[in-house]
A = this chain, B = another copy of it.
Amino acid sequence: MFSFAITARAGRARTGVFETPHGPVETPLFMPVGTLGSVKGISPQELREIGSQIVLGNTYHLLLRPGPERVRALGGLHRFAAYDGPWLTDSGGFQVMSLGHMRRISEEGVVFQSHINGDLIELSPEKSVAAQEALGADIIMAFDECPPYPAAPEYLEESIERTLRWLERCLEAKTRPDQALFAIAQGGVDLKLRRLSAQATVSFDTPGFAIGGLAVGEPKEAMYPAVELSTRLLPEGKPRYLMGVGHPEDLVASVALGVDMFDCVYPTRTGRFGYALVPEGRLNLKLTRHLDDPTPIDPECDCYACRHFSRAYLAHLVRADEMLGLRMLSLHNLRYLHRLMEQARAAIREGCYGEFAREFARRRFGGEVPGWFRRALEEGGHWA
């Protein structure tokens, strides 16, 4: 039910098809984040139109509102949110750390205060799996701890071992055969611990594996060796999901190293802040100079915003805090990342991922390609 077939390779990059009960998805792919069961401002029809393949829901948020049992009674996320393509839910672990107040971590799980109303809530491997079974996503995530950066090696090690015990409990608690549980390898940017975590995690042989605990504030120079090591240690035949990663340059560099899946609030959040992703980086539409510009955000883009609206109009809407502006920038930014992954898949199929990534870098970075990006391409076999 959850087979993964790699259809082409270029260096360490690969493209493939992952089967889910709600249809196949092509990797590498970017997943829009539908925090509370909606990708902010975007309709299910628009998600289809811009090429979204999997939508991510946050168990932490859905646990607080509207509650997993309510979602189950209304047909699970697919019917509740009227998006019948594949869904993925995270375990809640990450947001307990970032949003919960007064959290207390023990062997049993985590107790925290809701950021909405202060209620004391317990989350454990069993409770997370039960919530994710009620929500009904196609892919569910193991309940893990995502330690902050920096973290002391002793704490990291302790956390990794607890996360492994929690993984075992998640797999024991899981009952639905129509959901794939992905394990998450941790280890921060400590390569010894990352190796230890990846190797132990892989032994559980889940249908996919995630790389967690990165992009939490560490420099790129520390993050990429951890990505590189992880994709070497995670099995070839399973999808690899780099959690919470989201900037275009990170997608291109990580695909070079063999990552298959990504998610991030970046495209929608930066859109709501008035920024539009373009090959050269991002446009700040709050700047006065855009107010008279009749050109679209990106003449190469095929999204509704780029086909209909000028930078001038969108800049006006952003400045006036008009909902349509925020909606259109979110739509465009998601389409930008989906198109980037479509281009990556095509380049892998045509055996020219290196050319694609170097052309991306030329436009994104101009003359100065950063060392971490170049090294990722080199280690991926894309920089001859």
Residues of A within 8 A of B (CB): 36-45, 65-66, 70, 73-75, 80-82, 291-292, 294, 304, 308-310, 312-313, 316-317, 319-320, 322-328
Contact = CB atoms under 8 A, between A and B. Distances in A.
Nearest to A64: B320
Given A81-B313, A312-B74, A313-B82, A323 B324 contact: no
Contact of A80 (B43, B313, B327): B313
A40 B324 contact: yes
A43 B304 contact: yes
Given A73-B292, A327-B323, A80 B40 contact: no
Given A82-B309, A313-B74, A316-B65, A40 B322 contact: yes
Given A36-B316, A70-B291, A74-B292, A324 B41 contact: yes
A327 B292 CA distance: 28
A80 B310 contact: yes
A308 B74 contact: no
B82 A308 contact: yes
Q: Which 6 A-B pairs have the closest CB atoms?
A: A41-B323, A82-B308, A38-B324, A66-B316, A36-B320, A40-B323
A153 to B, nearest CB: 39
A73 B312 CA distance: 11
B324 A43 contact: yes
A95 to B, nearest CB: 14
Nearest to A83: B308
Contact of A324 (B42, B294, B308, B317): B42
A316 B70 CA distance: 10
A36 B322 contact: yes
Contacts of A319: 65-66
A79 to B, nearest CB: 8
